[in-house]
Amino acid sequence: MQQRKIQTDGLTQQILEAGEGPLVIFCHGFPELGFSWRRQLPALAAAGFHAVAPDMRGYGGTDRPEAVEAYTILNLVGDMVDLVRALGRKQAVIVGHDWGAPVAWHAALLRPDVFRAVAALSVPFQPRQPGRPPIATYRAIAARKKLGEFYMLQFQEPGAETAFESDVAAGLTRAFYAYDGATPDERRSTGFTPQGVAFLDSVTDAVRPPWMDVEELATYVAAFEASGFGGPFNWYRNLDRNWALTAFAQDRTIDVPALFAVGEKDPVRNYAGHAEAELKRWVPGLRTQAVIPGAGHWLQQERPDEVNLLLLEFLQGL
């Protein structure tokens, strides 16, 4: 893999890349980096693809705009369109995990002329619900089901990111541990915390996950100590703005070929699992939908061999 910076229309992006051939772009989520795809890029390069994983807007070596409203889903999709063009291509397959999955889904939804296929891990496509802005909806669900506080709502608060920034190594370790498949079931997070308990405070006795060595954790820590968490948290602070901005795409389906995979024990299934059952309705091009037994949320890092096999079968079948 090679690392370099590339200038696009909107910002300077830092990318990891490997191989030559048809372009495949990988979008990471929170709290990750392009580095989270380190086990996919070489595998795709060996199979004849040009695999590219940027640090997304606000992360790592990529630019970090100050304004909260600079992190909407339209900005994030636009970044990936710009990246395709900056790499000298007209089309790509786009792959996303966690927050990168909504970016990938919306890239395929809004620009199918550029993104000829889409693969998403952990987060299914969730169609826009008319009359139901996300923040109010999440609050109502949590209250009705007496689930406590949803972490995405806690992340809305100004300065919420300081909990991660005060001890980056501890914050990242807790976040990875909370959603990991190897974490004991009774200690894995549900995404909800008791009333008045912050997300990180709800995770106790966290240890580095078995799929991440000391050097890999240090790579994450160094990146976030340099960049902070303000940009990443701003992705969450645009939930309602994204809902408003995408009204023009209401009821539109994703028609390009698609793949979706999720870990059996992924906590995201507690609050987005309902969308798995309806995925084929909104993604008629869905070719593969897989649940990986025993896996948690960090799918491409926890189970790289299974993920690589799914991706290569999908890509080679296009």
Residues annotated as part of the active site: 98, 297
Of 57, 73, 54, the closest CA to residue 10 belongs to: 57
Predicted pLDDT of residue 118: 99
Per-residue pLDDT tens for 250-264?
999 999 999 999 999
Per-residue pLDDT tens for 245-301?
999 999 999 999 999 999 999 999 999 999 999 999 999 999 999 999 999 999 999
**Cα of 38 vs its chain's centroid, Å:** 15
Entry pTM: 0.97
Provide the terminal-to-terminal Cα distance of the chain, rounded to the nearest Å: 25
CA distance 134 to 242: 9
Predicted pLDDT of residue 136: 94
Sequence-ordered list of residues with C-beta below 8 angstroms from that of 162, at least 6 positions apart, any chain:
none
2-130+245-316 classified as CATH 3.40.50.1820: yes
Name the segment(s) of the chain with CATH classification 3.40.50.1820.
2-130+245-316
CA distance 132 to 209: 37
The b/e string for 229-265 (b: 16+ C-beta within 10 A; e otherwise) is bbbbbbbbbbbebbbebbeeeeeeebebbbbbbbbeb
